[in-house]
Structure 1
Amino acid sequence: MEFDRFKQSSDRLDLLALDKRGNLVVVELKRDGLASYADLQALRYAAMVSTMTVEKLLPYFVHYQQKYLGQVDMTTTRAQELIQEFVTNNDTFEQLSNRPRIILCSENFSTELTTTVLWLNQAELDISCVRIVPYKVGDSVVVVPTKIIPLQEVNQYMIELKHKEEGREQQAVQSGRTETFTLLMDHGHLSVGDSIYLRDRLPVYLGSEAKDASNDALFRAEILPRQGKSYTVRWDYDGKVYSLMNLTQTIFQQFHPAGVRPAGMQAGKHWGLADGRNLVELADEVWADLQSGEAT
């Protein structure tokens, strides 16, 4: 329902909804081709409704049912029953969440806005972008919604984020920590012939494909003897030899919707052992133990 009942404010929220988990949902519609400032406006609305209780919501819901749906006999009691029936696990539902979800709808979104949305999601705020495109079908207009999983719009942000993560390994080496493969091999946590598995911190488009990496040669590699300064691996899928970085980029490119090859990454963070331990995390633990004198 459209909501314009903010106290001491003339603001009008485009749509206020309720989801099946008992969360209020702030929906902001923008005609602006790039949805300028929609994020800030929606955040303000979400903050304003975050303290709303079921009791405060009921009069507005009753008014909506009576005015727009013709339910002239709608009562507060019946409205509360409808809400209770709608929310999943209604036996335990008592009150609205104080963390409203946010949905931004527009024909397009700027890079600045999608970058902000991605950052807010990382801060555990549930906010998403939905691209809405109208089509003329006969005498009707059909609006097709597409939830944006940030790819092209936030590509630069993701690249910068990857570079930041890559820097962790570089900083570790610069601060004295031995390179991951070398450290784990030298201290007996890895051996030539061991298998490693691509399954950790994977991009959205790859996650479901590698859910059972242990049974799929696409996501498994064998550690080979050291060549020069670095260890290499043999990809079980094609039997060829790669550096861990090159192999990870190759697999990511193969599954990327647009065939994009990642510019760079901290490859070890995506690979783990058969027992589930991540290579980089294990190397960090081994190094910490060495510094404290607990490892040999």
Structure 2
Amino acid sequence: MIFTVPNKNLVTAQKVSPGTFLDLKIWERQHIEQWVINNPEILGEELLILTAEFSGFEQSKDRLDVLALDRQGNVVVIELKRDGLAAYADLQALRYAAMVASLTIEKVIPYYIKFRKRVADEVLTEEQAKAEIQDFVISDTFEEFSTKARIILCSEDFSKEITSTVLWLRDFGVDLSCIKITPYAMEDKVVIVPRVLIPLEEAKQYLIGIQAKENPQPSKGAKRQRTVKILLENALVKAGDKVFLKNGLPSFLQFKKDDPIFSAEITGLKGQSDAIRWANDGQCYSLSNLAWSIFKEHHPEGKDPGGVNGAWHWVNEQGVSLWDLAEKHLAAASTKA
């Protein structure tokens, strides 16, 4: 429920009644899908959108609404419904989850590259796309998607049949969530209020911990090490070196050398979450997560920046991106070998 309080009369609260997607002419693909793509947090967590209208299924013409990745390395099937009473939404989502369970990063990369070009006009190489995907996951040991895909159902409302089915499936270890979005018409705008119906936050955190314990990421053999580890182990950077958020910044963000938000220093640590210390608050972050947070905070509309390869955006004092610095070393080492 929403109440508005006029600035000139703070003691008066006026109730705003919820509308419906139908009455407000809100459409599934044209509107709801775009909300999720531009601001994935509407679903109650940080997600990296991998692609939309995904149709890369063998022997099937089905189209999955939105495919995403969570911070724990799980592929997330996002099924959107304009009609809260839509039949078989749960079954349809389960079918999609089964289909994407075998997806690998390599299979997703072409779709992700095409998606980023379409929604953000970004041109990514396969290596850059792979780095953005891997850097989004908070685990230092992440190498490949989990085989247990998650499901998020998002709608204006849910029938008892669907919520009962979701709760029953969760008892059997299926990670299914229900996000309810309520629209409110307020003067010349529509206010949307998302709410997690299933699961409650406490249960969600408990399940994440259990999954991390029971499903460690399997080793897939040799892969490119994380950029900071390459640089530190080959003495290309050292603890205390200054780095700057300068390369390839979005149009709404202008680099200023004296502004602490653009400055950090190498910590000398090789973990995923403590590679650099930010001058703005003295706290430690990963290259990608800090760049992602800065881009989002300074976006005029607070939009999610999508995948961010922080090593490409952060440069050393000579102006060379940390990504390019590591890539040149790897290329030289490969030539010698």
TM-score, normalised to structure 2, is 0.43
Instruction: Tell me: higher relative CO, structure 1 or 2? Use CA pairs within 8 A at least 6 residues apart.
Output: 2
